[in-house]
């Protein structure tokens, strides 16, 4: 599978056209479907590489999003360098999701930051991209030290750094500072109040940077939480657990409210990611329902958020602005594009038929097992997600065209095809769950 991924992207680096990207996408999708069909089995190789349902789901998502990134970067400047960055980040993320050693996982976990930094610096839009890079590096580095300290503490106490051996270990009593070890994953999600780097990075990043950042990199936090929780038993109904869940839910609600206050479409989608990813805190419940709910939510949000950032980029290509006020009247100009916008907005609010609906239902069950007060906040978050998703669709697609802008129909078949490739798995996978 990894060999097919490398061969496909190397071919794209040489040919660099739309047909080559479609061929490479088909090859990558073929290998991804083979991997998805074998996801119910568990593989382990040389004690270093591990492949189960969680890892295979994240690898499929990575290959899918990276192939769409290659299609979106066909007309950028320095396209060869951009394709090399896409190849690099794809290889690093596949290594993150396949290694079964915690220290190797930490190495690749932090290495995934390097290609994003280069994307921001070389293809960012504004001079403020350097400030966004500083925000991101400082937050990631500060959050990684507690995780590294937790790994060192595990090894120094006589335990192994292998995930498989830790899963089978009898000694899983968790200290009261388990939340400190998970701090790096909370920053990567990002969970409130560690989310300040995300809107800044999204606004300054190019479209392919936003796609991989929202589609896959934010899922590293949820993936790491699920992996690390296999080595410990979190004391439910303890003070630290209740504080974590309360802060995450309340912060997600505040981020959802902030979406309605944004005038930049890209900032709106970025804050919506903070609200959705805060639900990953229910992985701390350590039940099978919560784990599967988190996995489905991560896959659904990865496809939906990547599609929304492509959508915002196409708004900018047509109107020349990302302003909520200036983008109006697209229904009369490009109805097929508006249909894609509507389906992605429905998926973003967690309505059927979409993967987000299944994930939120499973997490709602996990939430109800903890406390009914959390259910109330969860319902408020779902209501606010519907509000800002309908706000995004209604303001930009309906209404009269602004007299200050001339909407030039500059969308190609490739642009609409990329949106369709985001929508198709969201709907089709919902039918097979």
Nearest to 196 by CA among 91, 257, 125, 267: 267
Q: Which two tokens stand for residue 242?
A: 């209740």
pTM above 0.85, yes or no: yes
Residues written for the chain: 433
288-320 pLDDT tens trace: 888 888 889 999 999 999 999 999 998 888 887
Tokens of 195: 């989310």
CA–CA dist 389, 348 (Å, integer)? 7
- Tell me how far apart the alpha carbons of residues 204 and 263 are, in angstroms, rounded to a whole number: 15
Structure token pair of residue 248 = 């995450």
Sequence-ordered list of residues with C-beta below 8 angstroms from that of 127, at least 6 positions apart, any chain: none
Q: Which residue has the tokens 């309908």?
A: 390
Of 421, 356, 349, which is closest to residue 66 (Cα–Cα)?
A: 421
Cβ(170)–Cβ(44) below 8 Å: no
The tens digit of pLDDT for each residue in 112-171 reads 888 998 998 888 877 788 888 888 888 888 888 888 887 787 777 766 677 776 666 655
- One-character DSSP codes across 86-137: HHHHHHHHHHHHHB-BHHHHHHHHHHTHHHHHHHHHHH-SSTTHHHHHHHHH
Output the pLDDT for position 44. 58
Helices 53-72 and 219-229, packing angle to 10 deg: 170
pLDDT at 145: 84
Helix spans in 260-371 (H) = 265-277, 288-319, 330-333, 335-348, 355-370
Q: Which of 432, 423, 295 is nearest to 362 (CA)?
A: 295
According to the model, what pLDDT value does residue 176 have? Answer: 54
- Tell me the backbone φ, ψ of residue 45, rounded to 5 degrees: -130, 120
Residue carrying structure tokens 């609200």: 275
Structure tokens that stand for 63 in this block: 């290959």
- Predicted pLDDT at 15: 47
The dihedral sign for the CA sequence 140, 145, 146, 152: positive
pLDDT at 305: 92
Q: What end-to-end distance do the CA atoms of the chain give, in Å? A: 24
Can you spell out the DSSP letters for 374-390? HHHHHHHHHHHHHHHHH
* pLDDT computed for residue 11 by the predictor: 53
CA dihedral 414, 418, 421, 426 (to 10 degrees): -150
Burial class (CB in 10 A: 0-12, 13-18, 19+), 62: buried
CA 196/CA 359 separation, integer angstroms? 25
The mean pLDDT values, 10 residues at a time, for the chain of 433 residues are: 50 50 52 48 62 84 86 81 86 89 86 89 83 87 82 74 67 62 84 84 88 89 84 73 85 90 90 89 82 89 92 87 82 85 91 87 85 86 91 84 59 84 86 73
The DSSP annotation for 170-225 comes to S--BPPTTHHHHTHHHHHHTTPTTS-THHHHHHHHS-HHHHHHIIIIITHHHHHHH
Q: Which residue shows structure tokens 């060869």?
A: 80
Residue 288 CB partners (closer than 8 Å, separation 6+): none
């Amino acid at each position: 599978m990894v060999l097919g991924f490398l061969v496909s992207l190397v071919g794209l680096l040489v040919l660099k056209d739309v047909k080559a990207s479609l061929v490479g996408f088909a090859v990558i999708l073929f290998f991804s479907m083979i991997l998805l069909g074998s996801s119910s089995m568990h593989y382990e190789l040389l004690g270093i590489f591990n492949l189960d349902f969680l890892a295979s789901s994240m690898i499929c998502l990575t290959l899918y999003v990276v192939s769409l990134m290659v299609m979106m970067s066909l007309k950028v400047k320095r396209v060869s360098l951009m394709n090399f960055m896409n190849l690099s980040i794809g290889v690093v993320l596949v290594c993150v999701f396949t290694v079964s050693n915690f220290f190797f996982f930490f190495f690749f976990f932090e290495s995934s930051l390097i290609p994003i930094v280069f994307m921001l610096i070389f293809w960012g839009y504004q001079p403020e991209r350097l400030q966004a890079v500083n925000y991101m590096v400082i937050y990631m580095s500060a959050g990684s030290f507690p995780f590294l300290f937790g790994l060192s503490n595990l090894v120094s106490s006589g335990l192994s750094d292998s995930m498989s051996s830790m899963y089978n270990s009898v000694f899983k009593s968790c200290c009261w500072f388990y939340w400190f070890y998970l701090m790096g994953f909370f920053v990567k999600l990002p969970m409130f109040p560690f989310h300040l780097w995300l809107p800044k990075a999204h606004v300054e990043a190019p479209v392919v940077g936003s796609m991989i950042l929202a589609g896959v990199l934010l899922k590293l936090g949820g993936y790491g939480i699920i992996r690390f929780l296999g080595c410990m038993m979190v004391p439910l109904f303890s003070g630290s657990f209740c504080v974590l869940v309360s802060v995450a839910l309340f912060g997600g609600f505040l981020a959802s409210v902030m979406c309605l206050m944004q005038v930049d479409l890209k900032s709106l989608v970025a804050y919506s990611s903070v609200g959705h990813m805060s639900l990953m805190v229910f992985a701390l419940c350590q039940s099978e329902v919560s784990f599967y709910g988190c996995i489905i939510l991560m896959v659904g949000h990865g496809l939906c958020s990547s599609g929304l950032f492509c959508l915002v980029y196409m708004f900018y290509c047509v109107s020349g602005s990302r302003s909520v006020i200036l983008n109006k009247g697209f229904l009369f100009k490009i109805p097929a594009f508006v249909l894609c916008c509507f389906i992605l907005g429905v998926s973003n609010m967690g309505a059927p038929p979409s993967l987000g609906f299944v994930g939120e239902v499973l997490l709602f069950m996990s939430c109800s097992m903890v406390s009914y007060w959390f259910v109330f906040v969860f319902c408020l978050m779902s209501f606010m997600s519907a509000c800002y998703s309908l706000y995004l669709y209604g303001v930009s697609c309906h209404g009269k065209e602004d007299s200050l802008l001339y909407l030039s129909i500059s969308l190609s078949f490739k642009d609409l095809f990329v949106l369709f490739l985001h929508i198709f798995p969201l709907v089709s996978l919902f039918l097979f769950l």
